[in-house]
């Protein structure tokens, strides 16, 4: 039986255009550039232009042209009003949203420094193996081992599983002992220690080729081989007692171990791996801040003029309905895409201006960060907190004092004895300074650091110090101790 009922519900619905805008808003500069290239490939009406030209007004041309006597124009006009909530002619004549052009700077700023060609670690190891005296089977095992080495230089896969794979694939009778011998040869390639299965094994292999005093080298070997657990926990007095040596000899052995590389596969960081493309550039000139959106690599966009002419009232009679419908869809998509980029730029600039205004002291001096949350910015620019989160996520700003992620400027506050609130990042910086200035022979405990901070006017507990210390990856006092 059919029942008729009445309900009242509160719903929030986003149009496809709003969803597109929100997706573009959260993209950083490089991702936006890729997104635009994808849109250029998919939409024939959208094109890239080095110089966005001023478009002629098509409405003026249409008004000068006489309407066809067969009534086609009237039928088209009636059909458009029937299918759309707005006048399509008004849509065509809105010149402001036909193009987008980001800020361009001098040509020399766009020039990129050439990056030296680099060779992968696996290829370097394989090249060295060609000079080694290995059998065909040995080369096969070595290649399989190198293929399983991770980015830190460790062999994370069990050697017996590698042997099983080789035996099954190549129908061989290889033993784990034979594979161990090949692994030993691989571990002594450059960099030494590559392919080790544990940190202990990695350090022991490197210690073999280390040039130092034989007596100190033997002590270091015994520490790593027999008392590795005490070494990691920095029980130095216990090490000296168990090895029956002086603390000075333990110190020299630890200095020798300190020369070893715990991550032989890490290598050097290239320019490409260590490069951040900023989204904003903030500079100070005569007391005022100039905020620029770094969109110089974003290609300028415009809607193709010929397609626009084809869709005008004068030309529409000669286009079949299927083609016209396709062009209308792509035209609307191009218009909304350009409008979303314009809106993205406007929103991002609003958020950045509000951040600079709230953290003015930091942008002037490089310190004095104030506590601030997303809600503070949302109230200033009258937007939702989720919008602020999308703008901040993954974006970077270049200032006179370095490059910072936008998230850096948002932090909780810590009360001082004077009644003021300071950012917890300022407190973390104080903790870092205290740890760097401590006596390495007697590192400060979290309780002592809390006492020092309270003496400086910060109301902070020991557990808060421990939380901040761990977030900065500063080890506990026992592990910071040095001989």
Which pLDDT does position 68 carry in this prediction? 41
Among 425, 407, 424, smallest CA distance to 415 is for: 424
Per-residue model confidence (pLDDT) at position 210: 92
Q: Residue 404, SS3? A: strand
Exposed / middle / buried, residue 375 (Cβ in 10 Å: 0-12, 13-18, 19+): exposed
Q: What is the pLDDT of residues 260-276, one digit of tens each?
A: 999 998 765 555 555 78
State the alpha helices, DSSP H only, in 244-289. Answer: 247-258
Instruction: In whole angstroms, give the CA distance from residue 106 to residue 204.
Output: 55
Q: What angle do CA 30, 291, 424 make, to 5 degrees?
A: 85
Strand partners, 40: none
- Domain 413-483 bears CATH identifier 1.10.10.60: yes
The answer to whether residues 465 and 450 touch, using CB atoms and an 8 Å cutoff, is yes
Residue ranges per domain, the chain?
A: 14-56+72-103+268-410, 119-197, 211-259, 413-483
Q: Which residues pair with 414 in a beta bridge?
A: 422
Place of tokens 């506590």: 371
How do beta strands 396-399 and 280-285 pair? parallel
pLDDT (0 to 100) of residue 318: 63
Q: Do domains 119-197 and 413-483 have the same CATH topology?
A: yes
What is the predicted pLDDT for the residue at 81?
43
CA dist., res. 145 & res. 155, Å (int): 7
Model pLDDT, residue 76: 38
- Residue by residue, pLDDT tens for the chain (483 residues) are 677 888 888 776 777 778 888 888 888 888 888 898 999 899 888 888 755 444 434 433 443 433 343 443 344 344 444 444 444 444 445 555 566 666 654 444 445 556 566 678 888 898 888 888 888 899 999 999 999 998 889 998 999 999 999 999 888 898 999 999 999 999 999 999 999 999 999 999 999 999 999 999 999 999 999 999 999 988 889 999 999 999 999 999 999 999 999 999 876 555 555 578 899 999 998 888 999 998 877 788 888 888 777 766 555 556 677 877 888 888 888 888 988 999 999 999 999 999 999 999 999 998 888 889 999 999 999 999 999 999 998 899 999 999 999 999 998 878 777 767 778 888 888 899 999 999 888 899 999 999 999 888 888 889 999 998 998 889 888 888 887
Task: Report pLDDT for 175.
Answer: 92
Let me know: does 403 contact 294? Beta carbons within 8 Å.
no
Q: What is the pLDDT of residue 477?
A: 87
pLDDT at residue 123, as a whole number: 87
Beta bridge pairs of residue 423: 413
Q: Judge whether 454 and 460 are in contact, CB under 8 Å.
A: yes
Bridge partners, residue 404, by sequence: 397
Q: Is 62 exposed, middle or buried (0-12, 13-18, 19+ CB in 10 A)?
A: middle
User: What is the per-residue pLDDT for 64?
Assistant: 41
Q: How far apart are CA 139 and CA 133, in angstroms?
A: 9
Residue 221's φ and ψ, nearest 5 degrees, are -65, -40
Contact, 453 vs 464, CB < 8 A? no
Using one digit for the tens of pLDDT, what is the confidence trace for 89-133? 444 455 555 666 666 544 444 455 565 666 788 888 988 888 888
- b vs e for 92-112, b when ≥16 Cβ sit within 10 Å of the residue's Cβ? beeeeebbbebeeeeeeeeee
Read off the pLDDT of residues 411-429 as tens digits, 9 standing for 90 and up: 887 877 776 777 888 888 8
Q: What is the CATH number of domain 119-197?
A: 1.10.10.1330
Residue 13 CA to residue 163 CA, distance in Å, equals: 58
Predicted confidence at residue 273, as pLDDT, reads 54
Judge whether 222 and 206 are in contact, CB under 8 Å: no
Angle at 467 between CA 465 and CA 473, to 5 degrees: 100
Give tens-digit pLDDT for 288-325: 899 999 887 778 888 888 877 776 655 555 667 787 78
Residue that is written with structure tokens 């081989």 in the block: 225
Which residue's structure tokens are 């907190």?
Answer: 385
Return the closest-CA partner of residue 206 out of 150, 255, 264, 153: 264
Return the closest-CA partner of residue 100 out of 169, 46, 35.
46
**Is residue 247 within 8 Å of 233, Cβ to Cβ?**
no
How many angstroms separate the CA atoms of 345 and 273, rounded? 27
pLDDT of the residue at 207: 94
Local structure of residue 66 (DSSP, 8 states): P
Altogether, the residues listed in the chain come to a count of: 483
């Amino acid at each position: 039986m059919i029942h008729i009922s009445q309900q009242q519900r509160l719903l929030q619905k986003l149009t496809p255009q709003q969803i597109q805008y929100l997706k573009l808003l959260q993209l950083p500069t490089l991702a936006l550039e890729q997104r635009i290239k994808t849109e250029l490939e998919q939409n024939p009406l959208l094109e890239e232009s080095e110089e966005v030209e001023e478009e002629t007004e098509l409405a003026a041309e249409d008004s000068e042209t006489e309407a066809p006597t067969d009534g086609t124009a009237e039928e088209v006009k009636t059909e458009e009003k029937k299918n759309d909530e707005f006048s399509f002619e008004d849509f065509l004549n809105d010149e402001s949203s036909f193009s987008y052009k980001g800020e361009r700077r001098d040509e020399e700023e766009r020039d990129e420094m050439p990056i030296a060609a680099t060779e992968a670690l696996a290829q370097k190891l394989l090249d060295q193996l060609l000079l080694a005296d290995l059998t065909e089977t040995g080369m096969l095992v070595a290649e399989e081992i190198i293929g399983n080495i991770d980015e830190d230089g460790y062999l994370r896969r069990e050697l017996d599983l590698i042997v099983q794979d080789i035996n099954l694939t190549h129908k061989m009778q290889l033993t784990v002992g034979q594979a161990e011998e090949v692994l030993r040869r691989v571990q002594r390639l450059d960099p030494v220690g590559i392919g080790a299965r544990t940190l202990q094994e990695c350090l022991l292999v490197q210690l073999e080729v280390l040039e130092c005093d034989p007596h100190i080298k033997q002590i270091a070997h015994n520490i790593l081989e027999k008392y590795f657990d005490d070494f990691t926990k920095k029980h130095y007095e216990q090490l000296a007692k168990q090895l029956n040596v002086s603390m000075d000899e333990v110190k020299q052995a630890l200095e020798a171990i300190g020369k070893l590389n715990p991550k032989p596969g890490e290598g050097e960081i290239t320019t490409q791996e260590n490069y951040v493309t900023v989204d904003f550039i903030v500079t100070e000139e005569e007391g005022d801040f100039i905020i620029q959106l770094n969109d110089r690599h974003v290609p300028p966009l415009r809607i193709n003029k010929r397609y626009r002419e084809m869709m005008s009232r004068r030309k529409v009679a000669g286009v079949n309905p299927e083609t016209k419908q396709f062009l209308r869809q792509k035209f609307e998509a191009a218009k909304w895409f350009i409008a979303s980029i314009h809106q993205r730029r406007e929103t991002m600039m609003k958020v950045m201006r509000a951040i600079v205004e709230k953290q003015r002291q930091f942008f002037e001096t490089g310190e004095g960060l104030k506590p601030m949350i997303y809600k503070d910015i949302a109230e200033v620019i009258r937007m939702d907190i989720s919008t602020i989160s999308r703008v901040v996520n993954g974006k970077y700003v270049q200032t006179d004092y370095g490059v910072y992620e936008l998230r850096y400027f948002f932090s909780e506050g810590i009360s001082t004895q004077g009644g003021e609130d300071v950012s917890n990042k300022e407190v973390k910086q104080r903790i870092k300074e205290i740890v760097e200035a401590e006596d390495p022979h007697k590192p400060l405990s979290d309780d002592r650091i809390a006492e020092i901070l309270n003496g400086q006017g910060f109301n902070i507990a020991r557990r808060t110090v421990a939380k901040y210390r761990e977030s900065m990856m500063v080890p506990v006092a026992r592990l910071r101790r040095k001989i």
